[in-house]
Amino acid sequence: MHTLGINAAYHDSSACIVRDGCVIAAAEEERFTRIKHGKRPVPFTAWELPFHAIDYCLDAAGIELADVDHVAYAYDPYLLLDERDATMTLPLEPSAGASAGLSPWEPLFLSYIVNAERQLVDGMPHRLRRRFATARTRRQWQWHFVEHHLCHEASAFLAAPFDECAVMTLDGRGERASTSYGHYAHDDYRRLGQVTLPHSLGLLFEDVTEHLGFLRSSDEYKVMALASFGRPRYAAEFRRIVEIGRDGTYRVEPPRLAERFGPPRAPGAALEPRHFDIARSLQQVLEETVLELAAWLARQTGAPSLSMAGGVALNCVLNGKLRDARIFRDVWVQPAAGDAGTALGAALWIDWQHRGRRGYRMEDAYLGPGFGDDEIGAFLERAKLDARRVADIADETAKLLADDRIVGWFQGRMEFGPRALGARSILASPIRAEMQERLNAIKDREDFRPVAPAVLEERAAEWFVGGRRSPFMLFVFDVAADKAERIPAVRHVDGTARVQTVNREQHPLYHALLRAFERRTGIPVLVNTSFNTHGEPIVCTPRDAVECYFTSPLDALAIGSWLLEKARP
Ligand SMILES: [Fe+2]
């Protein structure tokens, strides 16, 4: 049984294919179209389906679109429509939804979504016709609209390594919900409650992101990075905005940020201390709130572990606080926690509903396209590139890294989710502090942005306080005091680092590289940042990798068994 999951309502459009409970493939549309986040999350783009990601998923499963048994679309427009509106013929009064807190363009948005199946059958780009063309006459699938938050929830508990867990999802918004709670146990899922709009911690974070001069629904992680430079002197103000209620509820008052914190920062304008302090205060109140919600959820469920998803769960400082609070024995965050992951959740949910049993645990996030040595070699030859095929790419790359060269690392299947995890990464040595600046210059990023370490899982506890398995780079850890001097490039201003642990099963070649680097330097840690430049999605194909390599100051490219090197200055 094949189930195709699609996320397209807002942004980070993506697709996922599940076969008999097992995830075969998942990817974001942005990696194929090279448009960051796929599209902007506005009503006018809701018609756009992630055709390239779907095409890739079908290819990975070896089927055509017509062969799919279920299509699970990660948004349910009927939660916002009554019978009368169900055909969604425009024009509805643009203001019709205003009383429900909806945008005046909600009818347009919903009508696009109601018609998504027709768009899937007829709207594919011409060059992708091959796997789509027979769907018009031969399709037999059942179409499902699945509630947005249920998709986030399913993406957490159906992928998590637990037989029982509490579930918490936090994001900007779904149809009506912004937060959901549930309890997964004995192969059964019980929804415990939701917080609905306009109350949303995710939207508040987006509002502040915009107020601080960054792009909302995109740059929230920059606000998290800013926070570690600030003081929480506005925390009391934010506590007036966010009011925690009983039974897992909270209210978010209209934030009126300009009134409280002064005029918004113009994009690109200098960052002042108050901007850092606003970010820090927001982060603090977010942490306090989510910890309290988690404590309530723990009491409700009695579950030993917590699974999370939703865009807010990408906040790795918050996740570190949740872990350290020990409300739950274990906290697991699904790596594509943002909306991309709802394609995964939708497909897993529908598969589970129809087959009645689970067959998947997400051990790694390498669910995207991979390219064999033959394919890479043919491409490099055709492009007449001077590449050297080496017997031990891990060792050769370690040698370059130990020599302070910055290397593009393209190995195996691409990651699903926003973090590069050693398949499409830019890697460097953590030994010199100035490496952070060099990397930020390569990527044309702001100076305040930290870079993160990858560490051998078996060495994590020696280098990071409480270091343990963290394969998705979604938790911060304190750098061990006696090691801080040795890896200054990955230590953030507050003494923490956003750690990825690597074991042999997860990615043998990446693991071998870390081992080889350790043999040369005594340090089992590398700097890992995503393989892209400013404003670009992470590279997907060998061609993307080569283009990024030649148009950025990268020193070398390790792609499959091939090595490309630029002359030293
Ligand atoms: Fe979401």
The predicted pLDDT at position 96 comes to 40
Determine the distance separating the centroid of ligand 1 and the alpha carbon of 146, expressed in angstroms: 12
More confidently predicted of 156 and 44: 156
Is the pLDDT at 38 greater than 50, yes or no?
yes
Is the pLDDT at 83 greater than 80, yes or no?
no
Determine the distance separating the centroid of ligand 1 and the alpha carbon of 508, expressed in angstroms: 33
The predicted pLDDT at position 102 comes to 57
Q: What percent of the chain is predicted at pLDDT more than 90?
A: 88
Determine the distance separating the centroid of ligand 1 and the alpha carbon of 537, expressed in angstroms: 19
Q: Are 420 and 428 a contacting pair, CB within 8 Å?
A: no
Determine the distance separating the centroid of ligand 1 and the alpha carbon of 374, expressed in angstroms: 39
Cα→Cα distances 510→108, 425, 454, Å:
46, 10, 10
Determine the distance separating the centroid of ligand 1 and the alpha carbon of 414, expressed in angstroms: 22
Mean pLDDT of the chain: 94
Question: What whole-number distance in Å separates Cα of residue 319 and Cα of residue 312?
Answer: 9
DSSP labels for 406-452?
-EEEE-SSPPSSSS--SSEEEEE-SSSTTHHHHHHHHTT--TT---E
pLDDT in tens, 251-275: 999 999 999 999 999 999 999 999 9
β-partners of residue 251 are 243
Q: Are 152 and 171 a contacting pair, CB within 8 Å?
A: yes
Lowest mean pLDDT among 90-94, 114-118, 128-132, 399-403: 90-94
Q: What percent of the chain is predicted at pLDDT more than 70?
A: 96
Determine the distance separating the centroid of ligand 1 and the alpha carbon of 468, expressed in angstroms: 28
Determine the distance separating the centroid of ligand 1 and the alpha carbon of 7, expressed in angstroms: 10
* Backbone CA torsion sign across 184, 189, 195, 196: positive
Is the pLDDT at 5 greater than 60, yes or no?
yes
The predicted pLDDT at position 95 comes to 41
More confidently predicted of 101 and 260: 260
Question: What whole-number distance in Å separates Cα of residue 235 and Cα of residue 283?
Answer: 9
The mean pLDDT of 530-542, rounded to a whole number, is: 95
pLDDT band, residue 310 (cuts 50/70/90): very high
The predicted pLDDT at position 106 comes to 83
Is the pLDDT at 289 greater than 90, yes or no?
yes
Determine the distance separating the centroid of ligand 1 and the alpha carbon of 148, expressed in angstroms: 6
pLDDT band, residue 246 (cuts 50/70/90): confident
Is the pLDDT at 93 greater than 50, yes or no?
no
Question: What whole-number distance in Å separates Cα of residue 33 and Cα of residue 45?
Answer: 15
Determine the distance separating the centroid of ligand 1 and the alpha carbon of 262, expressed in angstroms: 29
Q: Are 244 and 292 a contacting pair, CB within 8 Å?
A: yes
The predicted pLDDT at position 445 comes to 82
pLDDT band, residue 42 (cuts 50/70/90): confident
Determine the distance separating the centroid of ligand 1 and the alpha carbon of 170, expressed in angstroms: 8
pLDDT in tens, 180-218: 999 999 899 999 999 999 999 999 999 999 999 999 988
Return the number of other C-beta atoms located less than 10 Å from residue 94's C-beta: 14
pLDDT band, residue 441 (cuts 50/70/90): confident
pLDDT band, residue 89 (cuts 50/70/90): very low
Cα→Cα distances 416→56, 64, 184, 233, 498, Å:
13, 22, 24, 37, 18
Q: Are 448 and 520 a contacting pair, CB within 8 Å?
A: no
The predicted pLDDT at position 443 comes to 85
The predicted pLDDT at position 198 comes to 92
pLDDT in tens, 354-394: 999 998 999 999 999 999 999 999 999 999 999 999 999 99
- Among residues 427, 398, 391, 400, the alpha carbon closest in space to that of 565 is found at 400
Cα→Cα distances 339→63, 75, 113, 336, 513, Å:
25, 10, 16, 8, 32
Give me 138's structure tokens. Answer: 């031969």
Determine the distance separating the centroid of ligand 1 and the alpha carbon of 84, expressed in angstroms: 27
Determine the distance separating the centroid of ligand 1 and the alpha carbon of 29, expressed in angstroms: 16
Is the pLDDT at 401 greater than 80, yes or no?
yes
The predicted pLDDT at position 84 comes to 46
The predicted pLDDT at position 85 comes to 55
Q: Are 309 and 333 a contacting pair, CB within 8 Å?
A: yes
Question: What whole-number distance in Å separates Cα of residue 51 and Cα of residue 15?
Answer: 8
- Among residues 510, 462, 515, 512, the alpha carbon closest in space to that of 486 is found at 462
The predicted pLDDT at position 446 comes to 80
Determine the distance separating the centroid of ligand 1 and the alpha carbon of 398, expressed in angstroms: 39
